[in-house]
Amino acid sequence: MKIFSAAQLSQADKITIEKQDITSEALMERAGEQVFNWLHTHLDGAPVTIRIFCGIGNNGGDGLVIGRLLIEHGYKVVVYVVNFSDKRSKNFLLNYNKIKNVTKDWPILMTSQADFPEISDEDMIVDAIFGIGLNRSPEGWVRKLIQYLNANQAFKLSVDIPSGLYANLPLKDKEAVLKADHTLTFQTAKLCFFLPETAPFVSNFNILEIGLDLDFIKNTEPIAQLISKPEAQAFYQPRNKFDHKGTFGHVLIVGGSYGKIGAAVLSTSAAFKIGAGMVTAFVPECGYSILQSTIPEAMVITDKEEKFISNIETDFKPSAIAIGMGLGKNKATVAALKKVLQLKDIPFVIDADALNIISENKSLLDFLPSNSILTPHPGELKRLIGTWKNDYDKLKKAKKFSEKHQVVLIIKGAYTITVYENKLYINTSGNPGMGTAGSGDALSGVIAGLLSQGYDPLLASVFGVYMHGSAGDIATGQLGFEAVMAGDIVENISEAYLELFSREEAHEQSQ
Ligand SMILES: NC(=O)C1=CN([C@@H]2O[C@H](COP(=O)(O)OP(=O)(O)OC[C@H]3O[C@@H](n4cnc5c(N)ncnc54)[C@H](OP(=O)(O)O)[C@@H]3O)[C@@H](O)[C@H]2O)[C@@H](O)CC1
Ligand SMILES: [K+]
């Protein structure tokens, strides 16, 4: 699914009105109706007091539509106008007049802190104060109102976006953002929903289709792509009857050092599970019997050194190489890395200590084969691209790095983001149970296994990240967050493939 900027969404709004020959008021009605339907389905007539806080722009207009429809259906509703400005939008005013037709109670005008109402913990708050039209941080009593609502225990539902967040710009004032329990957003998710600094304000969210112009959606270059099950299904490359193990390639896993051989074991088994035809592990001497006894299917080549890798040589040409997992940073290993990077026409996944070695020896960046895949976690990323001022600065630097070095950068996190040139792919599978040792080693094996089967580097990255997350979701479903170990993620890669084509669809997005 495409993610658009606030400016693109306003443009989509205008184009939709023109092409569908409808009024902007009708589009607002559609949006409000969708929120009402969601609420009505979930509340099913419950006698809860719903307090709707409306700004004076179109987000506030949506709030008024929602209020009118709820009142019409017998809900107990109190509507407030957060009157931070006299510049009320046309559709706010139209709906302000319309709500008079369904209730004798006028919306309550709020102009200062003295107007803050008492709210019970059992009430529900609907936040329609600011939408994607926010262009500066909320100030004064409006900022205080947001804090007042945050301090309250009542369930908070945000319309389109939690008030105080920018759809796709850095946040300046963390104390002026509504912390939603749930967000119902129109047409597409917003970029801020997925970035570490702003995602916590969003919690769970649903996307409500409001029928924006399909040609616009199809033909407009988005600011990011969201990768969920439908996208992953489209990436999957089916097998042919006459394919054989040679077709699925031969992965070389280079990793492990004394005390960290497990990293190579996890990557090797992940490469097998995702479908590589053959996997050879290149490990220090001390890893030989561990690899041979834990994964009999794997071939093993050992370095002449007992405890670390000093020279990587094979008697075959691998179809993909993953390097760095548990590798260590011995001087000889640095030289070995430099040498192996010069192998031609082999796609690389570069992880963990290989990334750290590169960060400490920046000249190695020049040896990175183009289209290599780098898989840093936040600490490793910082060492590679330098520090950043905020999430958007981080993405800007990551794009620049990807363009300059012609590499795919996978920024691991709650929502892992794959960066390729100026494009962003945001993964939606995965869960906090996957924050466990070896999880990254499994990911490197998965991606190398896909590369060896002929997936191109970008596809192998985006699809691999999704499958790894999906395997983690299945593992967590069986074991609970705390008990998941990296081996459980690997174990469930088969289930992730089966789940990819199972019928029920996940509707709810959650972080
Ligand atoms: N696009 C779509 O597809 C559809 C969109 N819809 C809905 O419209 C919403 C966007 O509405 P919107 O553009 O009217 O802006 P909104 O967020 O209500 O803000 C209102 C005004 O507040 C002002 N202002 C800004 N920051 C401020 C601050 N800190 N403190 C004080 N004032 C501040 C600023 O005006 P200014 O004062 O700068 O002139 C701004 O214009 C969107 O989120 C969705 O809910 C649906 O109805 C239909 C389909
Ligand atoms: K809002």
Nearest CA to ligand 1 atom 21: 57
**pLDDT for the residue numbered 426:** 98
Give the CATH class of 2-222. alpha beta
- Going by alpha carbons, the residue nearest to atom 4 of ligand 1 is 13
| pLDDT above 80 for 511 | no
In this structure, the residue with its CA closest to atom 46 of ligand 1 is 28
Sign of the dihedral through C-alpha 230, 232, 393, 165 = positive
Q: Looking at ligand 1, which residue's alpha carbon is closest to its atom 2? A: 13
Q: Does residue 84 line the site of ligand 1, with CB under 6 A?
A: yes
Instruction: Considering only residues 199 and 244, tell me which one the structure prediction assigns the higher pLDDT.
Output: 199
* Binding site, annotated residues for K(+): 59, 127, 163
Q: What is the mean pLDDT of the chain?
A: 95
β-strands 124-128, 108-110 pairing = unpaired
Q: Is 322 helix (H, G, I), strand (E, B) or coil?
A: strand
Q: How much is the pLDDT for 106?
A: 87
Residue-wise pLDDT for 303-348, tens only, equals: 999 999 999 999 999 999 999 999 999 999 999 999 999 998 999 9
Closest C-alpha to ligand 1, atom 24: 134
What is the average per-residue pLDDT within 496-507? 78
pLDDT of the residue at 509:
45
Spatial contact of 464 and 274, defined as CB atoms under 8 Å apart:
yes
Ligand 1 centroid–CA 14 distance in Å is 14
Ligand 1 touching residue 160 (CB < 6 A): yes
Distance CA 335, CA 331 (A): 7
With beta carbons less than 8 A apart as the criterion, state whether 161 and 167 touch: yes
Separation between Cα atoms, residue 352 and residue 444, nearest integer Å: 10
- Mean pLDDT across the stretch 189-218? 96
What are the residue ranges spanned by the domains of the chain? 2-222, 232-500
Pocket test for ligand 1, best of 85, 88, 146, 214 (most atoms within 8 A of CB): 85
pLDDT at 508 over 70: no
Query: Could you tell me the pLDDT band of residue 11, with boundaries at 50, 70 and 90?
Result: very high
Query: How far, in Å, CA of 79 to CA of 441, rounded?
Result: 52
Verify whether ligand 1 is closer than 6 Å to residue 134 (CB atom): yes
Distance (Å, whole) CA 473 – CA 318 = 31
pLDDT digits (tens, 9 = 90+) for 134-153: 999 999 999 999 999 999 99
CA of 159 relative to ligand 2 center, distance in Å: 4
Binding residues: 58-62, 127, 131-137, 160, 163, 263, 326, 377, 412-416, 440-441
Q: What's the CA gap between 277 and 63, in Å, rounded?
A: 56
Q: Is 129 in the pocket of ligand 1 (CB under 6 A)?
A: no
Q: Which helix (H) or strand (E) element contains residue 18?
A: helix 6-19
Q: Say if pTM beats, i.e. exceeds, 0.90.
A: yes
What is the third-level CATH fold of 232-500? UDP-N-acetylmuramoyl-L-alanine:D-glutamate ligase (3.40.1190)
Averaged over 43-61, what is the pLDDT?
97
At 240, is the pLDDT very low, low, confident or very high (cuts 50, 70, 90)? confident
The residues facing 180 across adjacent strands are none
